[in-house]
Amino acid sequence: MNNLKHYLSQVEEIFNHEVFLAEPRELYEPIDYTLRLGGKRIRPTLMLAANAMFGGSADCVRDAALGIETFHNFTLLHDDLMDRSPLRRGKPTVYTKWGDNTAILSGDTMYALAWRYFLRQPTPHLQQILNCFNETAIEVCEGQQKDMNFETLGLAKVNLDAYLDMIRQKTAVLLACALKIGALYAGAPKKEVDNLWNFGIHLGLAFQMQDDLLDGYGDTAVFGKKTGQDIRDNKISFLPIMALQLGDETRKNELLNLFATKDNMDEEEKVRRVMDIYNTVDLHSTVEKNINDEFQTAKKIFDSIDVPEDNKTPLRELMETLDGRKK
Amino acid sequence: MNNLKHYLSQVEEIFNHEVFLAEPRELYEPIDYTLRLGGKRIRPTLMLAANAMFGGSADCVRDAALGIETFHNFTLLHDDLMDRSPLRRGKPTVYTKWGDNTAILSGDTMYALAWRYFLRQPTPHLQQILNCFNETAIEVCEGQQKDMNFETLGLAKVNLDAYLDMIRQKTAVLLACALKIGALYAGAPKKEVDNLWNFGIHLGLAFQMQDDLLDGYGDTAVFGKKTGQDIRDNKISFLPIMALQLGDETRKNELLNLFATKDNMDEEEKVRRVMDIYNTVDLHSTVEKNINDEFQTAKKIFDSIDVPEDNKTPLRELMETLDGRKK
């Protein structure tokens, strides 16, 4: 069995060989730019590794891997526009470089291109695969809306369950979908397809919680971006929600006030005061424990999948890489 | 065979019985609003009538009809945002009512919902139908980009061929797609499916040219909106392109200047002067002739389709309705 590195480089090769430019240039240049920005390529890698786990070969999922990553990058493109994020992977986002209209239309086109990739990948399980992809896409949209709703609701009105439901839809289902589709292309049995889906959900929850944790506690040099951005943006993440559960009444109120501030406070002072509260309630270790619990649940489901241990190597490696990730 | 009215009311019934509201409300309310705004429902009607022409029943295409109209309304929703159009069918557009972000995300979700409808419509021709829908979607995006490019290029640099190519992609292919998919669901032979597609392209070209004509020459009371809006917006349509071909050097230059004005001229004065040029070169009758030629080409292709004449009644009626349309 090949190791994780093999699948990562296979994904890179797939992207390097694909032509994204076409006419009209004004539409496809931002698409090419977005798809060549790189990133971790986790979703296509999950798909290839899940496919190989059940005896598939890279050819079985080449186009579908392009499809899932193209869809993911479409959602990032539109999210960046909606969130007015100036940078993505350290580079200017499409709307800052080409304007809002290009971001809207190039994003729409990427969504259609994702479908083109899925439709050109031969499989006897087409309907099931497309249903899975499409229902996932709807959930991702719903998750993004819920995330935007949180901003309007404010920290005081968002509880842990609502937050977990939101990140399940916004982040976890697409990881689960990548795994499930990879397995379906290889003709995996239903029971194991379901296991992979559930494994992906817990992996995705852990992944998103890590993202939230890194925003507060990442090492800027490794993380690649300034920490504390969620705090500056009053962004409701796992950190403030958990801190509210851990703090006493005084800290709770202070945190709620800090997350309700608009432009009337020095940003770095605000980050410092929020981090002080986080540290006082020992937030880091609580959040790490929660992340670890999700990883353990994911691992238990993964262990139960009935294929030769050797076939599991790449996904196990990937899980371990994610578990210890610093960026 | 049923008449056109039957299929129009069947489409209305399909939409009246469908539930578009779901959670989160903030996402689905604008979708429900958009899909209940009405409109001519030409695309689903074309699909039902094409399906019936080859012996299909409404059940064969019910969901696909919802799918094509949902997709069409998604493109309108995003186009209105990109074009900053305040009104659609006489009502406030989604971005004016709920903001840009809602317009982006509800639009994305409508696109996914269109897929859900297509995927739940049983057919042995799934792959071919989905390919047709998806390649059409990509062309619609490309057409919209070309339309936006025209604005940057300016009237002097857009020729008739480029304009026809743009409206083929932006408008005609979706009508052709609706017809083709309707026929595919009924298992029509390849030759006739191709004929229907070509019929739809010419019908679509005529339809878009009519739209352009009505903007200049529509009867406001019947048309339902103020005429001359394309002139106020410097919008490059069939009218100025054709007028450039018909006018002498003086009028040509005057028209180019008028279409290059920003905010330094009284809008109604501008409309009056452009319409004066149009009238001097007898634009109305030239454009009507072009529209009529397209309808004749469409009709010839339609006539050649080998099904009992009775089966053609609804589409023939629809063609006649469009031919004489005043709005």
The pLDDT score that the predictor gives to residue B324 is: 80
Q: Range with the lowest mean pLDDT among A14-18, A96-100, A106-110, A319-323?
A: A319-323
Q: Which residue of A has its CA nearest to B105?
A: A141
The pLDDT score that the predictor gives to residue B163 is: 98
Checking if the pLDDT of B222 tops 90, the result is no
Q: How many residues would you count in chain A?
A: 327
| Euclidean distance between CA atoms A17 and B110, whole angstroms | 32
Mean pLDDT value across chain B: 95
> Number of A:B CB contacts under 8 A?
99
Q: Smallest CA–CA separation between A222 and chain B, in Å?
A: 32
Backbone angles phi, psi at A197, to 5 degrees: -55, -50
In the 8-state DSSP scheme, what is residue A170? I
Distance between first and last Cα of chain B: 28
Q: Smallest CA–CA separation between B295 and chain A, in Å?
A: 29
| Euclidean distance between CA atoms A297 and A302, whole angstroms | 9
For testing contact with chain A, the best of B20, B79, B101, B151 (most A CBs within 10 A): B101
**CB of B108 within 8 A of CB of B173?**
no
Q: Which of B302, B315, B240, B237 is nearest to B45 (CA)?
A: B315
Show residues of chain B in contact with A137, CB under 8 Å: 112, 115
Q: Quote the tokens at residue B199.
A: 């019929």
Checking if the pLDDT of A264 tops 80, the result is no
Q: Smallest CA–CA separation between A300 and chain B, in Å?
A: 32
CA angle (A27, A32, A33) in 5-degree steps: 100
The pLDDT score that the predictor gives to residue B75 is: 98
Q: Quote the tokens at residue B284.
A: 């109305």
Q: Which residue of B has its CA nearest to A114?
A: B134
Residues B29-57 pLDDT 10s: 999 999 999 899 999 999 999 999 999 98
Q: Quote the tokens at residue B326.
A: 């005043």
The beta-carbon neighbor of B27 closest among A27, A111, A142 is: A142
Q: Which of A160, A176, A155, A121 is nearest to A253 (CA)?
A: A155
Q: Which of A258, A305, A293, A294 is nearest to A277 (CA)?
A: A258
Q: Across residues A92-102, what is the average pLDDT?
A: 97
Q: Range with the lowest mean pLDDT among A163-167, A246-250, B215-219?
A: B215-219
The pLDDT score that the predictor gives to residue A194 is: 98
Report H helices in A168-312.
173-185, 190-217, 220-223, 229-232, 238-246, 249-258, 267-280, 283-304
**CB of A168 within 8 A of CB of A196?**
no
The A-side interface with B (CB below 8 A) comprises 23-24, 26-27, 78, 81-82, 100-101, 104-105, 107-109, 111-113, 115-116, 119, 126-127, 130-131, 134-135, 137-138, 141-142, 144-146, 148-149
Name residues whose C-beta falls within 8 Å of residue A316's C-beta, 6 or more positions apart in sequence.
Answer: A302
**Do the Cβ atoms of B26 and A142 come within 8 Å?**
no
With a pLDDT cut of 70, the percent of chain A lying above it is: 99
**CB of B177 within 8 A of CB of B67?**
no
**Residue reference for tokens 């890194």:** A214
Name residues whose C-beta falls within 8 Å of residue A122's C-beta, 6 or more positions apart in sequence.
Answer: none
**Do the Cβ atoms of B141 and A109 come within 8 Å?**
yes
**Do the Cβ atoms of B145 and A105 come within 8 Å?**
yes
**Do the Cβ atoms of B100 and A101 come within 8 Å?**
no
Residues B161-211 pLDDT 10s: 999 999 999 999 999 999 999 999 999 999 999 999 999 999 999 999 999
The pLDDT score that the predictor gives to residue A324 is: 80
Looking at residue A218, its amino acid is G
Checking if the pLDDT of A51 tops 90, the result is yes
Looking at residue B89, its amino acid is R
Checking if the pLDDT of A222 tops 80, the result is no
| Euclidean distance between CA atoms B121 and B143, whole angstroms | 28
Looking at residue B258, its amino acid is L
Show residues of chain A in contact with B150, CB under 8 Å: none
Residues B254-292 pLDDT 10s: 999 999 977 678 989 999 999 999 999 999 999 999 999
Confidence of residue B68 (pLDDT cuts 50, 70, 90): very high
The beta-carbon neighbor of B119 closest among A82, A130, A146 is: A130
Show residues of chain A in contact with B113, CB under 8 Å: 138
